[in-house]
Amino acid sequence: MNDRFLRACRREPTDVTPVWFMRQAGRYMPEYRALRAKHSMLEICKTPDLATEVTLQPLKLGVDAAILFADILLPLEPMGASFEFAKGEGPVIHEPITSRAQIEKLRVIDPTDGLQYVLDAIRSIKTALAGRVPLIGFAGAPFTLASYLIEGGKSAHFVKMKRFMYTEPEAWNLLCSKLAGVVRKFLHAQIEAGVDAVQLFDSWVGQLTPADYAEYVKPHVKHILQDVMKAGVPVIHFGTGTQHLLEEMRDAGGTVIGMDARTPFAEGWKRIGYDHAVQGNLDPTILFAPPELAKKHADRVLDAAAGRPGHIFNLGHGILPETPVETVQAVIEHVHARKLTKST
């Protein structure tokens, strides 16, 4: 197996910096668009053969890890909160949460009860990968999942969620506890099914101040991560807009901390501490620049990492739908062309 990714997660030296991109199996790839023309997003997620096909599509670009094709919202359906992906609008929760009574009705499911198709997909993908690269599993964190449940979909300012969180802290904690319970078990089940690492996406948590993070979010994330870390595979903890939360997120858990594109990388890693691996943090929009400029920006990230073992090259957030594939490939090749001759 190409184990650069896993070695970097463990902060062991590697020949070159491993690279994978969040949402690397996605709409920017013609193969993916061709499949999406025939199947909905949820159909692909729920059909192990299709999920396997999509998960493997970006391998030809030379990435050092595959990430399970799925969606962070999948656990919500068996919990009792149905949703759909509305065309061009992103996820739409059918009955957004406005009351404690709705939270009480949410089921703390076992992954085998409603998410078996994800575990089946993992087994199918692992077989198809045949050990070429490691497979990353993932789940959404309670705050980010709660944001969809309460806002009903994407949100600019998260006003409904914050109003709920601030005015009904007990109901908020019940919601997050239920989500944390499901996510914890789901990540364990993914590891048992064969993933080689997991990533917890707390994509929107950067909306909070450090004090609010510590009060309303951290206990729930900690509950998940401190337990999942015992399973012995690398655990990546990721969010965006989290420059001010790096220490809090590190303390909540994770063996690898993700940094978004706006976090100065060298300073961020120093703050997190060199006893943690880090992942990031090329700006996804630089992939719309001429390839030479995108490579120059990739160099800035690599320069900031300074050859230190424990850096996984990635974007600061998911790859954007219209991204030119050739620039993605050029950046991957560029990262791989830089030999790591020494460690600092």
Active site residues: 23, 27, 36, 71, 148
Segment interacting with a copy of itself (CB under 8 A) among 17-25, 188-196, 201-209, 220-228: 201-209
Measured distance between the N- and C-terminal CA atoms of the chain, rounded to whole angstroms = 26
- Is residue 152 at the binding interface for a copy of itself, with CB under 8 A as the rule? no
Do the beta carbons of residue 214 and residue 175 sit within 8 Å?
Answer: no
Nearer to a copy of itself, 5 or 164 (CB): 164
Tokens of 200: 């917890």
Nearer to a copy of itself, 166 or 274 (CB): 166
Q: From the CB of 241, what's the least distance to a copy of itself, in Å?
A: 7
- Is residue 290 at the binding interface for a copy of itself, with CB under 8 A as the rule? yes
Nearer to a copy of itself, 263 or 279 (CB): 263
Q: From the CB of 163, what's the least distance to a copy of itself, in Å?
A: 4
Binding marks (x or -) toward a copy of itself, 223..242, rule CB under 8 A?
------------------x-
- Binding residues for a copy of itself, how many (CB under 8 A)? 30
Do the beta carbons of residue 340 and residue 24 sit within 8 Å?
Answer: no
- For residue 91, the one-letter residue type is P
Do the beta carbons of residue 236 and residue 256 sit within 8 Å?
Answer: yes
Pairing of strands 83-86, 235-238: unpaired
The alpha carbon torsion through 106, 71, 135, 338 (nearest 10 deg) reads: -130
- Is residue 288 at the binding interface for a copy of itself, with CB under 8 A as the rule? yes
C-alpha 325/C-alpha 332 separation (Å) is: 11
Q: What are phi and psi of 157, to 5 degrees?
A: -120, -5
Contacting a copy of itself (CB under 8 A), which of 60, 123, 132, 244? 244
Segment interacting with a copy of itself (CB under 8 A) among 8-16, 34-42, 209-217, 332-340: 209-217
**Whole-Å CA distances, 143 to 31, 47, 92, 192, 256:** 33, 28, 17, 25, 19
By CB under 8 A, what part of segment 154-193 binds a copy of itself? 157-159, 162-163, 166-167
Binding marks (x or -) toward a copy of itself, 247..266, rule CB under 8 A?
--------------xxxx--
Contacting a copy of itself (CB under 8 A), which of 111, 134, 152, 206? 206
Tokens of 71: 């969606």
Sort 15 into a burial class: Cβ within 10 Å, 0-12 / 13-18 / 19+: exposed
Residue 9: half-sphere exposure toward Cβ, Cα within 13 Å: 24
Nearer to a copy of itself, 167 or 344 (CB): 167
Nearer to a copy of itself, 183 or 286 (CB): 286
Contacting a copy of itself (CB under 8 A), which of 47, 177, 226, 243? 243
* Residue found under tokens 């030999």: 339
- List residues binding a copy of itself (CB under 8 A): 157-159, 162-163, 166-167, 206-207, 209-211, 241, 243-244, 261-264, 283-286, 288-290, 293, 300, 320, 322
